[in-house]
Structure 1
Amino acid sequence: MLSVPYENTTSAAHQRVSDLIASASLEIIPLKGADSKVAEAARGTTVTITCSPRFGLERTLEHTAAARARGYRVVPHLAARMVEDEQALRRFTARIVDLGVDDLYVIGGDAAEPLGRFGSAGEVLDALSDFDHGLRRIGIGCYPEGHPKISDAALLEALLDKQIHADYMVSQLCFDSAALIRWIDEVRARGVDLPLRVGLAAPIRIARLVELSLKIGVGQSLRYLTKQHGMAGGLLLGRSYAPEKLLLGMGERLVTDDLGIEGLHIFTFNQVDVTADWQRRVADTGV
């Protein structure tokens, strides 16, 4: 049952939200046991495997191979600061292409210092453009609610530079539909035309979302949670986060699709079963 703010949302908007949820990609962190959690996602789901200083490129490759063996479409993440040199980049792309992967998500990464010559996603994108890597699509990150260490002006400049070699962008966690729309309108007006995959948190209990953010080290998500209106009350009352509310809050802009949204990227925090149940529930009953 819809809450009051969405009672006037059109059936077309509801259908669009349902379609986006059904086709969402699910982000998996390659922790111990994560390969078995992938199996909880519906067949046909796209899963993305993260890359971090804690686990390195090899762990990303191992979990990419395991997910591909189960028949999933997989999009590995590649953190620029974890790539030693161009030969390492060529080896990584060759291995994922051999696994049947044709899509790569390139980020800067969270390492305090680069492992080698690459310090940013832009540098990796430039290097990828110099050889025939066999990939069909390349994605990059974007930050609708800003970045704690990078100015908005620098983020926009980097996005404009990177889109030359990219095919889509994925937004960092966002909990405010109005803020997301403002950001999209602004960057579109400034020349960013990449299709957007909206990054949303999984539909898990708010307390659990905070706990997992701390445990896994996703500091920015916790920052967004603590500043979001109503989240504190939900935390105290044991409520679950409802990602569909952000989408419904975008209303008819989703239907006209002038925002250039191609899909959703769900930060599951490895709560794949809960996320998959939510997707099935929406498919069965709508939003």
Structure 2
Amino acid sequence: MKGFSVTSHDFTVSGRPIGAAALIISANIEIIPVKGAEAKLRALSAGSGVAITCSPKFGLERTLQHVESAARAGFHVIPHLAVRQIVDRAELEQFVRRVEKAGVTDLYVIGGDADRPAGRYSAALEVLRDLSDMDHSLTRIGVGCYPEGHPKIDDSVLLEALQAKQAYADYMVSQLCFDPSALVGWLGTVRDAGVHLPLRIGLAAPMSVRKLAELSFKIGVGQSLRFLTKQHGLVGNLILGTSSYRPEDLLGAIDPALLADPRQIEGLHLFSFNQIEATAAWQRQVSGAA
């Protein structure tokens, strides 16, 4: 893997974003549909990509309400659809019709975190197959992938599922990862296995290392965070909470030719953990607008 330095002069040429900066500025920003999230969206530029999560804690209705609100505000909205929360095909059709009515054309289909399926669907592939023979106006469908594995699913099973899902999908979104070598190595492995979906890199937005640690262990990517603290000497700062994580450092360790190839990497999916104002300020700084 070829590395390069991401510094201010790497971000723009004649005032125009290039390379990693272009990916950062055009990133989709993941939002958790909690109270007050709609107001925080005002910090984002008009037309920004906003991905609304779907969790067992809040349910499908909360996701749909925030999707409709963000769409009315003029954002490009990508709803998460956690299939384990869908009871049957009728409910799936209701979900699709409602996001269509909101003007949504992009849907991100995942298995979801629910321990038990609410009904007939237990895996994303099952919903993808039903969507494929359903009349709808969705033009892009994304699926999840796991560069550093899944705590409950074997790597071979994950690969087989991704190979099967790509027949119904347009892109894949990676789980949060802090290790660029692991990310690039995994991408090479799945390409060799015949998976050709373009990747949206799942990347944490800037925040304090302590906050990032708390959230990362909650969503099961603690091992990747250990890599980050070891590589950057942040163990002491992690305890003290005196350091901040810089997502551009991960991008700076990836071959710029790979970042620039949309067939390989089409963009970023920023896990903001609802630190939306800080994420927007970082995007402006990268673009030179701050």
* Residue 162 (structure 2) aligns with: 159
Note the alpha carbon deviations across 1:237-276, whole angstroms, 9 max, x for none.
Answer: 5111101111110033435528700000000000000000
Give 2:253's match in structure 1, choosing from 249, 252, 259.
Answer: 249
CA displacement at 1:101 relative to structure 2:
0.2
In structure 1, C-alpha distance between the alignment counterparts of 2:203 and 2:7, rounded to whole Å: 23
Contact 1:24 1:266 in 2 (8 A): yes
In structure 2, C-alpha distance between the alignment counterparts of 1:180 and 1:52, rounded to whole Å: 25
> Which ranges in structure 1 are unaligned for 5 or more consecutive residues?
none
Contact 2:31 2:272 in 1 (8 A): yes
In structure 2, C-alpha distance between the alignment counterparts of 1:148 and 1:211, rounded to whole Å: 17
Specify the SS of the correspondent of 2:221: helix
In structure 2, C-alpha distance between the alignment counterparts of 1:263 and 1:37, rounded to whole Å: 23
Contact 1:53 1:82 in 2 (8 A): yes
Q: Which amino acid aligns with 1:78?
A: L
Mapping 1:37-52, distance limit 5 Å: 37-52=40-55
Contact 2:11 2:287 in 1 (8 A): no
CA displacement at 1:9 relative to structure 2:
12
Q: 1:94 to 1:258 in 2, by over 3 A?
A: closer
Contact 1:80 1:121 in 2 (8 A): yes
CA displacement at 1:152 relative to structure 2:
0.9
* Residue 95 (structure 2) aligns with: 92
RMSD over aligned Cα, in angstroms? Answer: 2.3
Q: 1:259 to 1:244 in 2, by over 3 A?
A: farther
Contact 2:4 2:252 in 1 (8 A): no
Contact 1:50 1:60 in 2 (8 A): yes
Alignment of 1:268 with 2:268, yes or no, is no
- Count of residue pairs the alignment pairs up: 280
In structure 1, C-alpha distance between the alignment counterparts of 2:102 and 2:254, rounded to whole Å: 38
* Residue 199 (structure 2) aligns with: 196
* Residue 79 (structure 1) aligns with: 82
Q: 1:81 to 1:7 in 2, by over 3 A?
A: closer
In structure 2, C-alpha distance between the alignment counterparts of 1:11 and 1:272, rounded to whole Å: 24
Q: 1:101 to 1:125 in 2, by over 3 A?
A: same
CA displacement at 1:44 relative to structure 2:
1.9
Contact 2:259 2:265 in 1 (8 A): no
Alignment of 1:145 with 2:145, yes or no, is no
Q: 1:283 to 1:92 in 2, by over 3 A?
A: same
Mapping 1:1-287, distance limit 5 Å: 6=5, 11=10, 15-213=18-216, 218-228=218-228, 229=230, 230=232, 231-236=234-239, 238-254=242-258, 257=261, 260-284=264-288
Contact 1:172 1:199 in 2 (8 A): yes
In structure 2, C-alpha distance between the alignment counterparts of 1:177 and 1:10, rounded to whole Å: 22
Contact 1:142 1:171 in 2 (8 A): yes
CA displacement at 1:234 relative to structure 2:
3.8
Q: Which amino acid aligns with 1:272?
A: I
In structure 2, C-alpha distance between the alignment counterparts of 1:259 and 1:211, rounded to whole Å: 34
In structure 2, C-alpha distance between the alignment counterparts of 1:256 and 1:100, rounded to whole Å: 30
In structure 1, C-alpha distance between the alignment counterparts of 2:257 and 2:118, rounded to whole Å: 42
Bigger shift: 264-273 or 248-257?
248-257
CA displacement at 1:223 relative to structure 2:
4.0
In structure 2, C-alpha distance between the alignment counterparts of 1:145 and 1:129, rounded to whole Å: 29
CA displacement at 1:220 relative to structure 2:
1.5
CA displacement at 1:55 relative to structure 2:
0.6
In structure 1, C-alpha distance between the alignment counterparts of 2:237 and 2:269, rounded to whole Å: 23
In structure 2, C-alpha distance between the alignment counterparts of 1:213 and 1:252, rounded to whole Å: 27
CA displacement at 1:226 relative to structure 2:
3.1
In structure 2, C-alpha distance between the alignment counterparts of 1:15 and 1:166, rounded to whole Å: 28
Note the alpha carbon deviations across 1:22-78, whole angstroms, 9 max, x for none.
Answer: 100100001111111122211121000000100110000000011111111100000
Contact 2:110 2:144 in 1 (8 A): yes
In structure 2, C-alpha distance between the alignment counterparts of 1:9 and 1:32, rounded to whole Å: 36
Specify the SS of the correspondent of 2:116: coil
> Which ranges in structure 2 are unaligned for 5 or more consecutive residues?
none
Specify the SS of the correspondent of 2:267: strand
